[in-house]
Amino acid sequence: MQKSPTQQTPHNHARRFAAALLTTLSLASSAVAATQGAGDTRFIVKDGRKLAFHATSGGPCAIVLDAGGGLDSSYWAGLAPELASATGCRVITYDRAGLGGSDEVAGPWSVVAASHDLASVMSAAHATQDVVLVSHSLAGEIAFYLVNEHPAWFAGAVLVDANVPEFYTDQVIEAQSHAFAPAIAAAESNPTTPASRQLLSLAASFVETSKAFHFETWPKAVPVVVIVSEKTPFDDAAAAELWRTAHRAFASGAENRTLVVATGSSHDVAHDRPDVILSAIRTMLAQAPPGH
């Protein structure tokens, strides 16, 4: 008997998701760490590891940009100086562990550790007040943990086609785990690259991390603009609708959440529709109470 579209959705969705993730990692592995215009490069040492970040001048507000899975600070090289010029805020980008100029961490990826790394970078950059956090794709998971731990730091957040808890049901997690299997096998059998090591690290903790993330909540005191791309990360129509539905559900969870569709954009909103991100940041800055 033929399965209904609803029954087919999780597996179709998982295959599309895996393809999108692998494409992102492939692009990241070949990217040049072009930080021109993104501010001075600085380093901190955390737990014996080096973390690289970049900061423009400006202030007192700050915009922190966190790129998606497998992408380093060079992802924001075009947008960072534009944001600094348009808002007058300092703009901070960084290289997640194992990417760009930051040292790798052995073993499975930890979203909690990643959020602590970003908090350390923000502290070193003196960006712990009037911050607008802009998180793309995988970085959405980091945002939830970071903002819950330090809600007073943030004037607001912009989630850019980002992972949200409503998306990670048990059924989707199981389907994605199966879909990742061929890519994981290929990564394990071939010479390693930064991209393949990132993939293996993410895969090693994917089920546990995703199940926990499904139950994460966003602090009601922190406003957020939820940007969802029109094209989503998926070609399959049913899979794309799952993505949109999850974002609509999250955005409807509080009065200070706004859903914005990046019309005509792929998952790569920062390059397809940077104007949408700039508009969302301006909204967050305008809503911030005096002296926040």
Per-residue pLDDT of the chain (292 residues; tens, 9 = 90+): 322 233 344 444 444 444 444 433 433 333 333 333 456 789 999 999 999 999 999 888 999 999 999 899 999 999 999 999 999 999 999 999 999 999 999 999 999 999 999 999 999 999 999 999 999 999 999 999 999 999 999 999 999 999 999 999 998 899 888 888 998 999 999 998 888 888 999 999 999 999 999 999 999 999 999 999 999 998 888 888 999 999 999 999 999 999 999 999 999 999 999 999 999 999 999 987 655 5
* pLDDT recorded at residue 39: 64
Retrieve residue 67's tokens.
């790129």
Retrieve residue 287's tokens.
């809503």
Say what the alpha-carbon torsion angle 245, 218, 164, 98 is, to the nearest 10 degrees.
170
b/e map 158-183, b = 16+ CB within 10 Å = bbbbbbbbbbbbeebbebbbebbeeb
Decide if 14 is inside a domain. Answer: no
For residue 263, list its beta bridge partners.
none
Decide if 19 is inside a domain. Answer: no
Is residue 179 within 8 A of residue 15, CB to CB? The reply is yes
* pLDDT recorded at residue 153: 97
The burial of 253, by beta-carbon neighbours within 10 Å (0-12 exposed, 13-18 middle, 19 or more buried), is given as middle
Decide if 25 is inside a domain. Answer: no
Strand, helix or coil at 155?
Answer: strand
Retrieve residue 257's tokens.
């959440």
For residue 214, list its beta bridge partners.
none
Decide if 215 is inside a domain. Answer: yes
* Structural domain span for residue 251: 34-287
Say how far apart CA 195 and CA 37 lie, in whole Å. 25
Our count of domains for the chain comes to: 1
- Supply the CATH number for residue 206's domain: 3.40.50.1820
Decide if 184 is inside a domain. Answer: yes
Is residue 207 within 8 A of residue 161, CB to CB? The reply is no
Decide if 29 is inside a domain. Answer: no
Decide if 20 is inside a domain. Answer: no
For the entire predicted model, the pTM comes to: 0.88
Q: Sign of dihedral through CA atoms 125, 126, 132, 135?
A: positive
- Angle, to 10 degrees, between the axis of helix 194-213 and the axis of helix 170-189? 160
HSE of 167 in the Cβ direction (CA atoms, 13 Å)? 24
b/e map 124-150, b = 16+ CB within 10 Å = bbebeebbbbbbbbbbbbbbbbbbeeb
Decide if 83 is inside a domain. Answer: yes
